[in-house]
Amino acid sequence: MTAERFLVTGALGCIGAWTLRQLVREGVPVVAFDLGTNPRRLEQIMTPGELAGVTFAAGDITDLDGLDRALGDHAITNVIHLAALQVPFCRADPPLGARVNVVGTVNVFEAVKRRGEGMAPVVYTGSIGMFSPGDVDPATNRLREDAEPHPGNHYGVYKHANEGTARIYFADSGVPSVGLRPMTVYGAGRDQGMTSSPTVAIAAAILGQPFRIAFGGSTLFQYAEDVARTLIAASRSEPAGARVFNLGGSPVSIGDWIAAIEELVPGSAGLMTHEPAPLPFPADIEHDRLAELGPIPVTPYRDAIAATAEIFNRLAAAGKLVGAEQGVPAPTPAQAPA
């Protein structure tokens, strides 16, 4: 059996950082492929010794030849593809969003196809964001695993296209894949994107700043560490076509989320509020088929909020919890300490 060598695209992002950490802790060689160069999310959750175990390969997912070279130069066997622009960035620049999210994903499949035999299934993140509230089963109000998507934004259209790309790369070229669809990922490093504000609220609470979460209702929360472990399990699964799974997690109302932070972060009571409107995506999501990938971890959300608060407290004690880096808006003059 060939020894595993992973390449993670979008490795400097939130989920990427947790994926690198898990692989380094397992002692598996891993290459971080990202357009960015700022390792701050990695530094928040990894020791300098762990960081030294990562090989960095700066690159742009829209450049097929560069990606191809990275796979070849590092003799990669497993690819986890996370590089993407999130909802607000696709909305701000749809052509760029399509190049990164759609063409970038085609490039990943093409580069893996060129490497030929011996590659693990391509693992990539789809998104529940490709569904609209009307896509739920009217009888149960749940999103079925086989629901037909009607995306409500560019990002969702691109994520839907990627599942088609995966299907055709298997049908035409036999490239196997596993797509995982998260909903609301949280944990250290989740500082940007439409569903980031529940995590930003934890940082704001520790900074002692008032903060308004951008939505209400309930959503399905996934802890970034659990997502990372699930992606790695998917990468190690037997090739079986172009499979796609909804991710499980913790269904929590935003009111309960705020109550949990208030309980876990002393002095934060009353600082957090939320917009009333729920996210424009289904909240109740079927995910039973995920068990096909083996045991899937789901950290209880209070434990994961506590773990996140611990990371932020450690950063704050070192003078490294910077509001602007965590997505916390600068305090207004009325909120600033006198």
Ligand X SMILES: NC(=O)c1ccc[n+]([C@@H]2O[C@H](COP(=O)([O-])OP(=O)(O)OC[C@H]3O[C@@H](n4cnc5c(N)ncnc54)[C@H](O)[C@@H]3O)[C@@H](O)[C@H]2O)c1
Nearer to ligand X, 76 or 271 (CB): 76
Distance of CA 269 to CAs 202, 207, 221, Å? 12, 13, 22
The only residue of 20, 54, 76, 82 in contact with ligand X, by rule CB under 6 A? 82
Q: Rule CB under 6 A: is residue 97 a binding residue for ligand X?
A: no
Binding mask 233-252 for ligand X (x = CB under 6 A): --------------------
Q: Is 12 in the site for ligand X (CB under 6 A)?
A: yes
Give the amino acid at 76.
Answer: I
Question: Which residue reads 């690159």 in tokens?
Answer: 59
CA–CA distances in Å: residue 320 to residues 21, 46, 207, 325: 20, 14, 11, 10
Of residues 23 through 52, those in contact with ligand X by CB under 6 A are 34-36
Is the Cβ of residue 29 or residue 179 nearer to ligand X in the bound state? 179
The encoded tokens of residue 128 equal 């529940």
264 binds ligand X (CB under 6 A): no
83 binds ligand X (CB under 6 A): yes
180-219: contacts with ligand X (CB under 6 A): 182, 184-185, 192-193, 195
Size of the site for ligand X (CB under 6 A): 29
Beta strands in 272-311 (DSSP E): 272-274
CB of 335 to ligand X, least distance (A): 27
86 binds ligand X (CB under 6 A): yes
Give least dist CB 239 to ligand X, A: 22
Hey, CA dihedral for 123, 155, 194, 291, is it positive or negative?
A: negative
- Please, which residues bridge with residue 80 across strands? 8, 123
- Please list the alpha-helical segments (H only) found in 46-83: 48-51, 64-73
Binding of residue 100 to ligand X (CB under 6 A): yes
Residues 47-76 that bind ligand X (CB under 6 A): 60-62
The answer to whether 323 and 329 are in contact (CB under 8 A) is yes
Q: Are 45 and 17 in contact (CB under 8 A)?
A: yes
Query: Measured at CB, which residue is nearest to ligand X?
Result: 13
Which SS3 state, helix, strand or coil, does residue 178 take? strand
d(CA 186, CA 305): 9
Does residue number 14 form part of the binding site for ligand X (CB under 6 A)?
A: yes
Residue number with CB closer to ligand X (169 or 186): 186
| Binding test (CB under 6 A) with ligand X, winner from 125, 219, 235, 308 | 125
Q: Which among 182, 199, 201 is positioned nearest to 190, based on CA atoms? A: 199
Give the interface with ligand X as residue ranges (CB under 6 A).
9-10, 12-16, 34-36, 60-62, 82-86, 100, 104, 125, 127, 129, 182, 184-185, 192-193, 195
